[in-house]
Structure 1
Amino acid sequence: MTELTADESEERRRSIGARRNPDTQEAILEAAEAIVAEEGIAGFSIEAVAKRARAGKPTIYKWWPGKTALLLDVYHRHKPANVHQDTGTVEGDVVAFFTAIFAHWGNTGAGQVFRFVVAEAQRDEAAAASLQSYATERRKQSGQIFERGVARGELAADIDTGLAADMLAGFVWHRLLTGRLIGDPIEMRQAARQLVRGLLAPGR
């Protein structure tokens, strides 16, 4: 067997350490999820997760830069798959989004987790970076609602679909952070109508 040099050995250790072991990753996520469910945000820490998952803290920090990044992964694991639906109309897609996200935030601990993430992002740079990365991906997904509307000729061709996605996210985040989640289908349809009608192409 060829003996590795000191530099090669160090590079190999870094490579192995950076590669996520699926079993260990799942154990960490399950431990984090259980702690949130049992003790809430107040009882959540990297130390508690490491102890419960029987994983080293350095391993967790290597894969998640902080507890906010880990919490976002826990949050995303249980986000309903039908948050973004193609109903055939922009208003229908927005109503479907409202229905799914408000139910998810109101009926599970997800709303508590996401409020914490937003709060942490105001005081911690690593948390802010984690939230920004997450929000960028969600912006792309939500933007597809409006891109489909443009492609169908339902929306004006010159709208900024990313900005429309920001408006959508801004509305739901504001409702979450002020404790005013919508549960009434009529109110959801009204909010969707007021958001979308200002984007309609002429004559519609």
Structure 2
Amino acid sequence: MSELADDIDDRRRSIGARRNPETEEAILEAAEALMAEVGISGFSIEAVAKRARAGKPTIYKWWPNKTALLLDVYHRRKPANVHMDTGSVEGDVFAFLTGVFAHWGDTGAGQVFRFVIAEAQRDAAAAASLLEYSAERRIQSGEIFQRGIERGELSADIDVGLCADMLAGFIWQRLLTGRIERDPGQLRRVARQMVRGLEASGA
């Protein structure tokens, strides 16, 4: 595991050890329900606290800002099949793109993530929460390319973190410009083009 991953785990343990699981679940369920009912415009820490019957100080102790809480709600909704091991890098990238775009397009998750990105542009605390979340996802997405190296599909000297950044950059750009891609044929072309320049010699 990388030093970044170790650092994230350490920080999570230092915070998470004080959490009451039942209270945490009640807060997350309340936040998720509010998002479904009123959307971003009606979402607030005050509303979550009231619905969960939890104190605002408790919420702020575990989630330093609204963005951090929204990111946890967003991640709870994320389907497990986004990070599948299909046996090939191209297949994994296609599965990732298909899963993320379906998640964004079929639920309110795309709206949530657009809001989080917007908040991060104007608020340092929101930016820090997004940066931490993105660092964790970068590690997870990087495993797609690490598996490719181990299978001999990809060159051994590629930077898997940079590959993950390129993948994230593509989906974020599509989200922010309102061009969520749902056509499987086009997504396969995107996956093929992303991977083609990374193939090991003779693969």
Say whether the fold is shared (TM-score over 0.5): yes
Aligned to 1:44: 43
CA distance in structure 2 between the partners assigned to 1:65 and 1:192 by the alignment: 37
Aligned to 1:203: 202
Identity %: 77
Aligned residues: 189
Q: What amino acid maps onto 1:101 in structure 2? A: V
1:203, CA displacement in angstroms?
Answer: 2.3
CA distance in structure 2 between the partners assigned to 1:27 and 1:189 by the alignment: 40
SS at match of 1:122: helix
CA distance in structure 2 between the partners assigned to 1:158 and 1:124 by the alignment: 37
CA distance in structure 1 between the partners assigned to 2:18 and 2:162 by the alignment: 36
CA distance in structure 2 between the partners assigned to 1:141 and 1:93 by the alignment: 12
* 1:16-165 equivalences in 2 (<5 Å): 19-165=18-164
CA distance in structure 2 between the partners assigned to 1:74 and 1:53 by the alignment: 14
TM-score, structure 2 length as denominator?
Answer: 0.90
Aligned to 1:194: 193
CA distance in structure 2 between the partners assigned to 1:87 and 1:55 by the alignment: 42
Post-superposition CA distance 1:151-182 (Å, at most 9, x none): 11111111111100000010011111111011
1:144, CA displacement in angstroms?
Answer: 0.6
CA distance in structure 2 between the partners assigned to 1:155 and 1:21 by the alignment: 44
CA distance in structure 2 between the partners assigned to 1:80 and 1:67 by the alignment: 22
Structure 1 segments unaligned to the other structure (5+ residues): 1-14
CA distance in structure 2 between the partners assigned to 1:24 and 1:163 by the alignment: 38
Moved over 4 A (4+): none
Aligned to 1:11: none
1:117, CA displacement in angstroms?
Answer: 0.6
Q: What amino acid maps onto 2:70 in structure 1? A: L
Q: What amino acid maps onto 1:171 in structure 2? A: F
CA distance in structure 2 between the partners assigned to 1:153 and 1:30 by the alignment: 43
